[in-house]
Chain A
């Protein structure tokens, strides 16, 4: 999933300071799973902003809505006829959601309430870990299902570096050394010899390409 964290209240307040009527828009997908922008978090933020406005003697009218997906037009369309009633939209979607809504409603001001962070997994309740950088050239099979691009702090394809100690990364003692994991898993599978060859430089063109990437599939077009 795409993970995100809510921006600090002070930053959100500053960006919506000139608005009196706000549509607060959650998203029921990834950001709901990582408890930053789902229905519950949307309601919480709306009430925080209302209480805060009341305390400061301002008027703030809010409406809460949560779309199944803020990044897909068929769900964004639910905002037609609603969005025009508000000064601005405070979006608890990821960066893709904010931009998709803004594209559908070019005259509306969509204010992001989240900092989109990474593609990751839910490790346990309240803990999410980054494990994919979307490099466009997946080599997980080669690295025993541990991504060196993402999980090695230096993104080494021929690790581990000299900073691997007691199975931890020198950059952050809470982070396991990805290369320790790779070596251990390959050893357990009896495939350590697969690392003998120097892994060639990555094809970052799959990630950087010619600017923003797109996926175009004729078979999906109607």
Chain B
């Protein structure tokens, strides 16, 4: 199979990339995935499929990515280390590449205590940075962890996440550097609402030349309502939503809050495009995938480039 990562091609050609998140269903229906994928088709470069996000069991990321690939989309396989040991992780990496998946996002994953299987044993055999390193070795040296040779390496564009809003702040960029040196080629950030803090972090990223070594994609989550903004600010760790954003949503009449959330999303994307070193956006429209085409159009990022 001679497929290439569209995300990698778009980024390396110097275009401002657009990816969107797609959460698989809590069920075995393949059509739901196809439907979500087709909704995004033509508006994004790649579709990022979550891996049992928040520790809630859903259709597996690998299968959903394979379905999206069949639909002609470029999937990004999210892979968390919470549920699989190094045997299963490496095996799934090989399987993903064999199915034509060309992008992987290596994560540790939300702790199992947050999900619907709270008695589960958290695996965490590797951490996200170690997984990045393992995948890079598999791809570049055709070697498994421990050195054993592969008959063919997995062709994958390797990504990792960064949260500029978590603590300790000064250490965040040093950890990003570790991820990049381990082999991360693209970085998706946590949802950005606090632009001044994000700009400060990007300054640190540029100071260390990391924007030259990895493609930074800014995370954008359009707010559906004032309630969602308040809930996320209070309950989602590592989420930084400044009061002025919450107040802006709260002072909007309920029926117009979706439009206001979309507007904030558009403004955020436009601001991100102006920041040196930001090479794209990653839209995480949580259970609101249908808003993505409008958001992309409004932000002036449609049509997507021909590659």
Instruction: Please list the residues of chain A having a beta carbon within 8 angstroms of any beta carbon in chain B.
Output: 153-167, 170-171, 177, 180, 183-184, 192, 195-196, 198-202, 204
**What per-residue 1/0 map shows which CB atoms of B212-229 lie under 8 Å from chain A?**
000000000000000000
Identify which of A163, A167, A180, A198 contacts B181 (C-beta below 8 A). A198
Taking a contact as CB atoms under 8 Å apart, the answer to whether A160 and B130 are in contact is no
The A-contacting residues of B in range 261-300, CB under 8 angstroms, are none
**What per-residue 1/0 map shows which CB atoms of B119-147 lie under 8 Å from chain A?**
00010111111100110000000000100
Residues on B with C-beta less than 8 A from A202 are 125
Residues on B with C-beta less than 8 A from A192 are 174
Taking a contact as CB atoms under 8 Å apart, the answer to whether B129 and A198 are in contact is yes
Interface residues on B, range: 20 to 34
| 16 other A-B residue contacts (CB within 8 Å) besides A156-B108, A183-B168 | A154-B108, A154-B111, A154-B127, A155-B127, A160-B167, A160-B171, A161-B166, A162-B190, A165-B167, A170-B237, A171-B114, A180-B168, A198-B129, A198-B130, A198-B182, A201-B130
B26 contacts partner chain A, Cβ-Cβ < 8 Å: no
Residues on A with C-beta less than 8 A from B134 are 201
Taking a contact as CB atoms under 8 Å apart, the answer to whether B161 and A162 are in contact is yes
- Closest Cβ of chain A: how far from B35's Cβ, in Å? 30
* Complex-state Cα separation, A162 to B128, whole angstroms: 11
Residues on B with C-beta less than 8 A from A153 are 111, 113, 122
* Complex-state Cα separation, A71 to B211, whole angstroms: 58
Residues on A with C-beta less than 8 A from B174 are 192, 195-196
Given contacts A158-B130, A160-B166, A183-B168, contact A198 B122 (CB under 8 A): no
Residues on B with C-beta less than 8 A from A162 are 161-163, 166, 190, 237-238
- Closest Cβ of chain A: how far from B133's Cβ, in Å? 6
Residues on B with C-beta less than 8 A from A183 are 168, 171
Identify which of B82, B130, B238 contacts A200 (C-beta below 8 A). B130
* Complex-state Cα separation, A198 to B183, whole angstroms: 11
B197 contacts partner chain A, Cβ-Cβ < 8 Å: no
- Closest Cβ of chain A: how far from B179's Cβ, in Å? 8
Residues on B with C-beta less than 8 A from A158 are 127-130, 175, 178
Taking a contact as CB atoms under 8 Å apart, the answer to whether B124 and A156 are in contact is yes
Residues on A with C-beta less than 8 A from B145 are 201
* Complex-state Cα separation, A177 to B174, whole angstroms: 17
* Complex-state Cα separation, A167 to B167, whole angstroms: 7
- Closest Cβ of chain A: how far from B90's Cβ, in Å? 11
B250 contacts partner chain A, Cβ-Cβ < 8 Å: no
A-B contact pairs, 21 of them (CB 8 A): A154-B124, A154-B127, A155-B127, A157-B127, A157-B130, A158-B128, A158-B129, A158-B130, A160-B171, A163-B237, A164-B166, A165-B166, A165-B237, A167-B167, A170-B238, A180-B167, A183-B171, A192-B174, A196-B174, A201-B86, A201-B130
